[in-house]
Amino acid sequence: MSDKPSVPVPPVVLVTRKLPNAVEDRLGRDYQARLNSDDALYSKDELIERAGGADAIVACHTEHLSAEVIERLPEEVKIVANFSVGFDHVDIEAAKKRGLVVTNTPDVLSDATAELTMMLMIGAARRAGEGEKLVRTGEWKDWSPAFMVGTQVTGKRLGILGMGRVGQVVARRARGFDMEIHYHDIRRLAPEAEEGAQYHETLEDMLPVCDFLSIHCNATPETTGLMNAERFALLPDGAIFVNAARGAIHVDDDLIEALQSGRLKAAGIDAYNNEPTIDPRFAELPNTFLMPHIGSATAETRDAMGFRALDNLDAFFAGDEPGDRVA
């Protein structure tokens, strides 16, 4: 009879989407990983079936872990490590009720999302979508002083809704354009963290001073539909709207009406309702600059997000508290 100690069996981890190679390599080294090499989007029934025998799930915001799905997950599943900073796709109360641990990946995507926010801001203001279309289609025929005139970003007033990690990085980047920073959040930053930004206790107080409004708050029951017709009407005429957070923050009909009427000069959008089946009117409007939800899409950031998710798994299976636990 052998006296060799038994080798612990690595936990089984279901991975719902194709992850960066370096992240999948680490998964394969440390866990029994069920990878999604085809990057197929699982239905809720497929997700539940594939989770059979798994100890953990690495999920993305494309998976909607509703109360029903969480209730139907196999008992062996003990943790959902999200490959995202947002976790509005998970029913947190249902997870807590079941005792399912949920984590996210904060901090590591702030720079990438702030970069994209500045691109959306400048692209919308300088009519980048229209200009690129003219060049690509061969419709660019002439130049004149009145041709493709947009809005200057430098020196304008920027309102930031949600002054968390991403919002603060956006503020720092915007200062490079000499923008005047205003913000609203449920909590005021410490004076040294504000770096001269002006705090507004209410969103309604901030909106009238926003030449640009950039959304960086989480999608919660309180913030869903926050930017509606009433609040769009509080912005100065010709303001520019930017959303690189979650589409649920704005009401599609009200945003589209404000763009169609000219009350809003333009919008730069990376987050939508009902992704990827978005309201087709956004694509039809000439004054929208649209991206397909790629705020964190740099190689460096996607690797860092994956490693952060795995750090949370490592801590959990070592018996420690995951650093980014949200449930």
Q: How confident is the model over 23-49, as pLDDT tens digits?
A: 999 999 999 999 999 999 999 999 999
Please check whether residue 174 lies inside any domain of the structure.
Answer: yes
- pLDDT of 5 reads 63
Residue 42 lies in a domain: yes
Q: Does residue 273 sit in the same domain as residue 304?
A: no
Q: Are 56 and 80 in contact (CB under 8 A)?
A: yes
Return the percentage of the chain with pLDDT > 90, whole number.
98
Separation of alpha carbons 235 and 119, rounded Å: 21
**Is 321 one of the catalytic residues?**
no
pLDDT of residue 7: 65
Which of 216, 246, 250, 302 is labelled catalytic? 246
Q: Is the pLDDT of residue 258 over 70?
A: yes
Same domain for 138 and 242: yes
Say yes or no: 266 and 132 in one domain. yes
**For residues 128 and 122, is the Cβ–Cβ distance under 8 A?**
yes
- Whether residue 278 is found in the same domain as residue 304: no
Tell whether 309 and 257 lie within a shared domain: no
| pLDDT in the model for residue 149 | 98
* Nearest-angstrom CA–CA distance, 300 and 280: 32
Asked if pLDDT for residue 3 goes beyond 70, the answer is: no
Is residue 6, in this structure, part of any structural domain at all?
no
Q: Which of 93, 275, 284, 300 is catalytic?
A: 275
93-126 pLDDT per residue, tens: 999 999 999 999 999 999 999 999 999 999 999 9
**pLDDT value at position 237?**
98
State yes or no: cis peptide before 106, omega within 30 of 0: no
71 flagged as catalytic? no
pLDDT per position as a tens digit, 175-199: 999 999 999 999 999 999 999 999 9
- What is the chain's Cα-based Rg? 22
User: Does residue 2 form part of some domain?
Assistant: no
25 and 35: one domain? yes
In a domain, 285, yes or no: yes
Q: How far is it, in rounded angstroms, from Cα 89 to Cα 322?
A: 19
Determine, yes or no, domain membership for 101: yes
Domain count, the chain: 2
Share the mean pLDDT of the chain: 97
Whether 293 is a known active-site residue: answer: yes
Residue 6 pLDDT exceeds 80 = no
Q: Does one domain contain both 132 and 186?
A: yes
Q: What is the CATH number of the domain that holds 312?
A: 3.40.50.720
Same domain, 191 and 276: yes
Residue 131, in any domain of the structure: yes
The pLDDT value given to residue 8: 83
CB 67 within 8 A of CB 91: yes
Please tell me the predicted confidence (pLDDT) of residue 1: 47
Residue 4 pLDDT > 80: no
Q: Is residue 3 part of a domain?
A: no
Question: Quick one: 28 and 119 in the same domain?
Answer: no
H/E segment holding residue 135? helix 128-137
**β-bridge partners, 79:** 56, 101
Rounded average pLDDT over 282-305 = 98
pLDDT (mean) for 308-319: 98
Do 155 and 179 meet the contact criterion of CB atoms below 8 Å apart?
Answer: yes
pLDDT for residue 309 is more than 50: yes
Sheet of strand 101-103, all strands in order from the earlier edge strand to the far edge: 32-34, 12-15, 56-59, 79-82, 101-103
My answer on whether 185 and 264 are in the same domain is yes
Asked if residue 85 has pLDDT above 70, the reply is yes
Average the pLDDT over 131-135 and give the result: 97
One domain for residues 99 and 124: no
Do 93 and 117 lie in a common domain?
no
CA-to-CA dists, residue 27 to 1, 84, 176, angstroms? 33, 17, 40
Write out the residue range of the structural domain in which residue 115 sits: 110-290
- Residue tagged active-site, from 127, 184, 293, 308: 293
